[in-house]
Amino acid sequence: MGKTIRHAHVSSKRVTRGDWARTAESLTGATIRTVRRQGKQIFVELDRGTLYIHLGMTGKLLWNASPGKYTRAVLEFDDGTLLYDDVRQFGRVEFYSQLPPALSGTGPDALTVSFEDFYARLKKHRVGLKALLLNQQFISGVGNIYADEALFLARIHPEAPSHRISKRRAVRLHGEIVEVLKLAIQHRGSSISDYVDSAGNRGAFQQLHNVYGRAGEPCPRCGGAVKRIVVAQRGTHYCPRCQRA
């Protein structure tokens, strides 16, 4: 915060959603006021607007790294360089002078949402639970890995209908979501193939996954085989013995 972007280059029209030349132009010379996060969205508040960043599947923010084949944006500061690298380009690096309301429409952050709010929101839907957790309008910040892990810890089947969840199980689920996210952060994230933090270090939480990516392996709780199904178009991992429908 307080730093000025001395020069910005953008080389992907995908991650900027269109006008990349103007994105770089708008960012060059801008000073950062604050940085905030809401779920998976990063809002860098500038003196002249907002820099919106979403890492998508393979996005990385790297401080003082060398640019490579997948560098899509470069922000140069007096004391270093911030790169945005993204192989698949599902991420976003966008400049807005006025933030579109749609970007602020996500639900409360999963790490801080109160149980009361969580439960009230749960009551408004009638969907499979995993699909609900992946819905960023419901709560924001839970993706495919942590949805599977939280449901495992709470012993809830990913396709359990949200409207049939007892308050007691909702309490458990809410608690496990917070726990698994905190634990994952403590272990600096899940590096399955290429995730690294801004210093280029891999996380270690993938070693502690109970079910995600472990189809066919024994369930750490009951020893039964972890199963993989498709739910909401996403690979879904769970223990059929511990997580009953």
Partner DNA sequence: CAGATCACCTGCTTGC
Partner DNA sequence: TGCAAGCAGGTGATCT
Binding site for DNA (CB under 7 A): 14, 39-40, 54, 56-58, 69, 87-90, 125-128, 131, 134, 136, 143-145, 190-195, 206, 228, 232-235
Residue 172 or 188: the one with the smaller Cβ distance to DNA is 188
**Closer Cβ to DNA, 29 or 213, answer by number:** 213
Q: Least Å distance between CB 146 and DNA?
A: 8
Nearest to DNA of 4, 58 (CB atom):
58
Shortest Cβ distance from residue 21 to DNA (Å)? 17
Three-state SS for 65? coil
Question: What contacts 25, CB < 8 A, 6 or more positions away?
Answer: 8
Q: How far is the CB of 34 from DNA (least distance, A)?
A: 21
Find the shortest distance in angstroms from Cβ 137 to DNA: 8
Distant-in-sequence, close-in-space partners of 73: CB < 8 Å, separation ≥ 6: 8, 9, 10, 11, 12, 15, 16, 24, 83, 84, 93
Q: How far is the CB of 29 from DNA (least distance, A)?
A: 28
Pick between residue 50 and residue 144 the one whose CB is nearest to DNA: 144
Do β-strands 49-54 and 59-63 pair in parallel, antiparallel, or remain unpaired?
unpaired
Residue type, 35: V
Nearest residue to 26 (alpha-carbon basis) of 42, 8, 53? 8
Task: Say which residue the tokens 């399955």 belong to.
Answer: 192
For residues 30 and 147, which CB has a smaller minimum distance to DNA in the complex? 147
Least separation in angstroms between residue 126's CB and DNA is: 4
The nearer residue to DNA, 3 or 234, going by C-beta atoms, is 234
| 38: region left, alpha or beta (phi > 0 left; psi from -120 to 50 alpha) | beta
As a whole number of angstroms, the distance between CA 72 and CA 74 comes to 7
Q: Considering the complex, state which of residue 144 and residue 243 has its C-beta at the smaller distance from DNA.
A: 144
Compute the least distance from the CB of residue 53 to DNA, in Å. 12
Euclidean distance between CA atoms 137 and 133, whole angstroms: 9
The single residue listed with the structure tokens 């801008």 is: 30
Handedness of CA 211, 132, 243, 120 (dihedral sign): positive
